[in-house]
Amino acid sequence: MADNLSNIFIDTAAGISTLVDEIIQEEPQPPTLYVDLEGTDLGRKASKVIYLISVHALGGLAFTTPGNDTPMTLKDILEPSSVTKVFFDVRNGSNALYTHFNVSLEGIVDVQLMENRARRSTIKDRGEILFKPQNGGAYEVFSKSPLRDDIKAYCVGDVQYLPRLREIYDGKLSAPWKEKVSVKTQKRVLESQQAGFDPEGDGKAFSPWGR
């Protein structure tokens, strides 16, 4: 996976319509989407491009705006199980989508459950310094317009390695373990949609297989 993929920043309904058309026209169908949510941005990885969607700017329009050539919306793409969506720890993203935008994820692959540890890049570490309060940052950096280049780089870094990580970890899992991962992933999504779910809960610090 190349380290220098280009990215497209979307903060208009017209941009969402174009993206929806591209996803629907992607071959093969249905496509596999690699997704990450940080602050208020959602990234979608294509073959050569990573799309950064400013949910802060668009609000619900990010998920309810149809394509130019199709009545489909991002909500229609994110919800069906027939479209595979790959996350690294789906819980907070699922909670945000369900709570704020009534998007109920299905068809999820959680790479964190396939491998509990992944190498972190220098760009990712720098990005966390900018937004994590415990590092002296603030989540509001995701809400500023225009989005800073270092924050864009952080968002891109979160998505671009997911395809390769999934490929590596999937090759190491036996069929029984793949089934365990699938069941655990569905459980994570359901738990994230409960009213009492805490995105910052202490339980997230533990290994998903060690409790």
Specify the pLDDT at position 112: 87
Interatomic CA distance for residues 149 and 194, integer angstroms: 35
How confident is the model over 62-111, as pLDDT tens digits? 999 999 999 999 999 999 999 999 998 899 899 999 999 999 999 999 98
Read off the tokens for 146. 């225009």
Residue type, 166: R
Spans of all domains in the chain: 6-193
Cα dihedral 177, 178, 183, 186 sign: positive
Specify the pLDDT at position 42: 54
Closest CA to 80 of 16, 24, 8: 24
Average pLDDT of the chain is 79
First to last CA, the chain: 33
pLDDT at 149 over 60: yes
Residue % of the chain over a pLDDT of 70: 68
Superfamily for 6-193?
A: Ribonuclease H-like superfamily/Ribonuclease H (3.30.420.10)
Interatomic CA distance for residues 199 and 92, integer angstroms: 6
Whether the Cβ atoms of residue 159 and residue 35 lie closer than 8 Å to each other: yes
How confident is the model over 181-201, as pLDDT tens digits? 999 999 999 999 998 898 877
Closest CA to 131 of 151, 147, 152: 151
Specify the pLDDT at position 119: 40
pLDDT at 117 over 60: no
Closest CA to 45 of 92, 98, 1: 1
pLDDT at 20 over 90: yes
Mean pLDDT of 47-67: 88
Output the pTM of the full model.
0.75
